[in-house]
Amino acid sequence: MLDTVQDQPQQPHPDPEPAVVSARPELSRKGFITTYPMFRYWNKEAIEEGSQLRPLNVYVHMPYCIQRCAYCWFKTTTLKENRLAEIDRYVASVCREIEMASEHFDLKKRPVESVYFGGGTPSLMTEANIQLLFDTLHANFNFADPQITFEGEPVTLSARKAACLQRNKVNRISLGIQSFKEEIVSQTGRQDTEEDAFRAIELAKSTGADVNIDLISGLAGETMETWAYSVKRAIESGAHNITVYKLELYANTPYYTAEKNQQISLPDDEQELEFMKYALAEFKKHDYKPCNSFTFVKGGAYDQKHTRSKWMGNDNCAVGVSAFGSIGRYNYQNLNDIPSYIDTVESGRLPAFRAYNNTTFDLMLREVVMGI
C-alpha cells in the first residue's frame, strides 16, 4: 500500500481516510475453522472404528549366538563369553521389563498383532527360557491371534525346541541361511552345511508354521554362479517366504576390517545389482511375490505382519538389550550393554537410555517416509 501511494503524484489530499478504509476486509459472518476435517465428513460408522484399541506389535531381543558372524553389526554376544546362568538372568530381566512396560504404557488390553523374537539367535535359548518368555507375554499382553515370528540358526533348531514353538503357537519361523554354498558360509565364521539348512527347514515346516529363509547378497567370495545356486536351492526348499538382504558393511564387523586390509574381496555395486536382478526374475518365475522391499512370499499368500505393521505406524513395544521401540509419539532405544541393562531392570526402572518425542510435523513426515 505504501509503495503504491509513493508512486502516485504528490498532491495534497484533504482527507486520507478513504485510502485506509479501502484496505479493510469486508465484514463476514462465515465464522472460523474449529476442526478438521469438516463435520460434513463425520459419520456413525466411524464411532465403532475409533473406539477400538489400537493394535500393538511386540519385539523381543535375544543377543546370544554360537559365534559372531563376520558381517553382523547387531548387538550380539557369543556363548564363549557367557555362562548359562547369565543367560537365565538376562531372560528374567526381559520378563521383568515386559511386566513394567505393559503397566507403564497401559498396553495390557491392546490387541497384539505381531510378536517377533529376534537377535542374536533366539533358537539358542533353552526350552525353559522360551516357555518363561511366552508365559510372561501372555500374562501381560492381549494375544489376539498374532503372527509370532521366531528367528533361528539351522544348527540350533532341535526337534524338542520346534515342538516347544509349536505348543506356543509360533506360526512363522525365520531361518538365517544366508547362503547354501558352504564355501561362502565358512568365510562368515559359521559352520552350517547345506544339509543342516535343509534339515532345519523341514523341521520348521513340520510345526505347521510359515517358514522364511534369509539370504544375503554380496558376501565375501560370492559370484553369480554361487548366488544363483543359493536362489535355486531356496526356491526348491519350498519355503513360504524368501528374504534377501543386501550386505551392509559396518565398522564394528570383522568383514569391515578384513575388507579394509584387503584380506577379502566383496562384490561391487554393479555385481550386486546383477545378483538382485537375477533373484527378482527367478522369484517372479516361481510365483514369489514381494510383500515388502526385501521379502518375497509364495503365491502372495504369506504376509510379514511385523514389518508391515510397524511401517504403517502401529506401535512396537520392544524389550531387551539395545531394542528400538515406539509407543505413540515416543521413540526409544534400550541400553546396549547387557550388565547395565540387567542392573537397570532389576532396580525396577525401564532401561531406555535415549528417546525422541515426535512432533505433529515429525509424524506427518514419518507417514510419508515409512510409506515409501
What is the rounded average pLDDT of the residues 13-30?
Answer: 61
Residues 6+ away with beta carbon under 8 Å from 32: none
Residue 64 inside a domain? The answer is yes
Pairing label, strands 241-246, 210-217: parallel
Residue of higher predicted confidence among 136 and 252: 136
What is the rounded average pLDDT of the residues 207-230?
Answer: 94
Q: Which residue range forms the structural domain that includes residue 366?
A: 320-371
Q: What is the pLDDT of residues 301-360, one digit of tens each?
A: 998 899 888 888 899 999 999 999 999 999 999 999 999 999 999 999 999 999 999 999
Residue 348 inside a domain? The answer is yes
* pLDDT at residue 283 in the model: 96
Q: Structure pTM?
A: 0.87
DSSP 102-170: HHHTT-TTSEEEEEEEEES-GGGS-HHHHHHHHHHHHHHSEEEEEEEEEEE-GGG--HHHHHHHHHTT-
Domain end point (choices 259, 290, 311)? 311
- Are residues 366 and 266 located together in one domain of the fold? no
- Are residues 124 and 250 located together in one domain of the fold? yes
- Are residues 92 and 210 located together in one domain of the fold? yes
Residue 72 pLDDT > 90: no
- Are residues 134 and 250 located together in one domain of the fold? yes
What is the rounded average pLDDT of the residues 45-71?
Answer: 89
- Are residues 301 and 357 located together in one domain of the fold? no
Mean pLDDT of the residues in the chain: 89
Sign of CA dihedral 351, 356, 59, 57: positive
* pLDDT at residue 11 in the model: 45
| Domain tally, the chain | 2
